[in-house]
Chain A
């Protein structure tokens, strides 16, 4: 049994604005084990990026407020840490890979220098050693001719190569936890596939834990061990990757899966959509935040917020539909057919 690296309990993050207090993250709890990848999926405004930034304590205060909850990294709560203490955790224990490699790198600094900077800050090594390490890191992330590339500037790299540099910087101080916030969204599919492969390789070699933030369910299926689906600042469904994709229980997850076109079945009908748009978190709705967009909403959804119902030991969903006295609602046909297709395909190709 691997060790628990991170435990987040009932985390709440608010932002003070002129219009009032926006409750961006409204009580998020999850845990993460060593060598495991957790994907956090959701749309813009669901709070997934705020959650990941909160783990690095990158929320500017003010306007941000940690309104409650704890973030236990190796058993120690990092929420009360001072900025000075936190700067030791950042890069060293937890590192982040950002979405846009062009803005994450300093355009006026040679790439090698940017990697060395991290090594020199966190490790007691000489400049020469740091340089050797930086070149070795560039080689590890698959950049050809690292000695030459070391002396180049970011603009001399392509998008995919830049993202490799960002990954090299994140790995420079051997972090235990990597947070990747939409690391492949700005890249072409072929380059995306290469970067995903690279991240999985690194994870295998170093037993790093990864939190992967994305809105792309295809990417989630590719990288994740477990998945948390976020909506309106809360986790609404939580389970292993197989449970989320083959036995989704929350209507929002159904909506997300249904709005992706299916390449195998030749569906001529319209894509399923989730009507409307997410709620304003200035005044979160009473009851289930998803109710106004949910075609299966029950009367109680508008009055009382559902708890997390247990589906299996590893699978939970926050919907009243799982209450024993709720009407029995099955996964919508279109999605079930698709899932059956996938499972059949998997059986045919030998598990």
Chain B
């Protein structure tokens, strides 16, 4: 049995006044297992990025519990414990132009984590480590002395990945890491992420809106809509056998490089049903979860 690396229990993240909050994430629960990639998809405003940012403690969560390796990450902690946690969990950002400091060289960007955590004090050792990281992401050692603007978008994203890897984390949150890149470069970065996962036994939370890439890279997929996870299951199962009408609608909207089928495509529109009944999570098949009321589930499964 694979270990649970991350457990999210009834996570809520509200913004704004408490009398009338914006419920960006509204009570979601899921687990991430060691070594897997969990894809988180949904349209803008569905709460997928907020979920990632809450997990890595960029926000103070409103309610719920996040356990990383069995420890509650939001419980009061000493500085050292926090540092330990920060080493274990890292993030790759969407925009490789905005997420790298233009006044620092690639080497300095990667080195920052070493300074904070007091690692590799010896200069030679440190340079070796930076070189190793650059090579691991497909760049050269010589690139360490260059500034961000001297790199292309794909190369910048590689620097962002090298930075995320610098402290040997076990869990990486990738928030739309390829959306800003060209198609051929997207494939290079996705292949790199997969290779690094194999070599280092990394666990990914892969946040994206591009369903085809998510299906390709993920073992399991969670579909978010308006702050809730409406469907969660193995990637093939979600793709071949979606139950929730929102998932169906989302899948029907993904264009394929196949003109004959594209011309016959019919988009399935989604209309959100408001119900007064209490909705809950149902396990419709082993490890395939759908959120809805009992009546809705019976209707959807037909």
Chain A residues with CB under 8 Å of chain B are 43-44, 159, 188-194, 196-197, 215-222, 224, 241-242, 245-246, 255-261, 263, 266-267, 270-274, 277, 342-343, 345-346, 349, 351
Interface residues, chain B, with chain A CB atoms under 8 Å away: 43-44, 152-154, 182-188, 190-191, 194, 209-213, 215-216, 236, 239, 249-250, 252-265, 267, 270
* B235 → chain A closest CB, angstroms: 9
Task: Let me know if A188 and B255 touch, CB within 8 A.
Answer: no
Q: Is the CB of A216 within 8 A of B255?
A: yes
Main secondary structure of the interface of B (DSSP, over half): helix
The complex places the Cα of A220 from the Cα of B261 at a distance, in Å, of 12
| Of the residues A197, A245, A259, contact of B184 by C-beta under 8 Å | A259
Question: Total number of A-B contacts with CB less than 8 angstroms?
Answer: 120
Taking a contact as CB atoms under 8 Å apart, the answer to whether A197 and B262 are in contact is no
Chain B contacts of A257 at CB under 8 A?
A: 257
Known: A188-B43, A190-B249, A259-B183. A197 touches B267 (CB 8 A): yes
Beyond the given A43-B182, A222-B263, A273-B187, please list 18 additional residue pairs across the A-B interface where CB-CB is below 8 A. Answer: A44-B153, A188-B43, A189-B211, A192-B253, A197-B267, A221-B262, A222-B259, A256-B183, A257-B257, A259-B184, A260-B187, A266-B236, A270-B194, A272-B187, A273-B191, A277-B154, A277-B185, A342-B260
Cβ-defined partner of B262 (8 Å) among A191, A222, A259, A267: A222
Provide the bound-state CA to CA distance between A188 and B224, in Å: 13
Question: How many whole Å from A201's CB to the nearest CB in chain B?
Answer: 13
Q: List 29 A-B contacts (CB under 8 A).
A: A44-B153, A188-B43, A188-B209, A189-B211, A189-B255, A190-B270, A191-B43, A193-B267, A197-B267, A218-B255, A218-B262, A220-B257, A222-B263, A224-B259, A255-B184, A257-B257, A259-B183, A260-B257, A261-B213, A263-B239, A263-B256, A267-B216, A271-B187, A271-B191, A271-B216, A273-B184, A273-B187, A277-B152, A345-B258
Measured CB to CB, the closest approach of chain B to A239, in angstroms, equals 11
Cα(A216)–Cα(B182), bound, Å: 9
CA distance in complex: A191, B43 (Å): 9
Q: Nearest Cβ in chain B — how far from A189, in angstroms?
A: 4
Question: B146 → chain A, closest Cβ, in Å?
Answer: 15
Q: Is the CB of B253 within 8 A of A349?
A: no
Tell me which residues across on chain A come within 8 A of B253, comparing CB atoms. 189-190, 192-193
Distance, CA A196 to CA B253, complexed state (A) = 10
Chain A residues near B188 (CB-CB < 8 A): 273
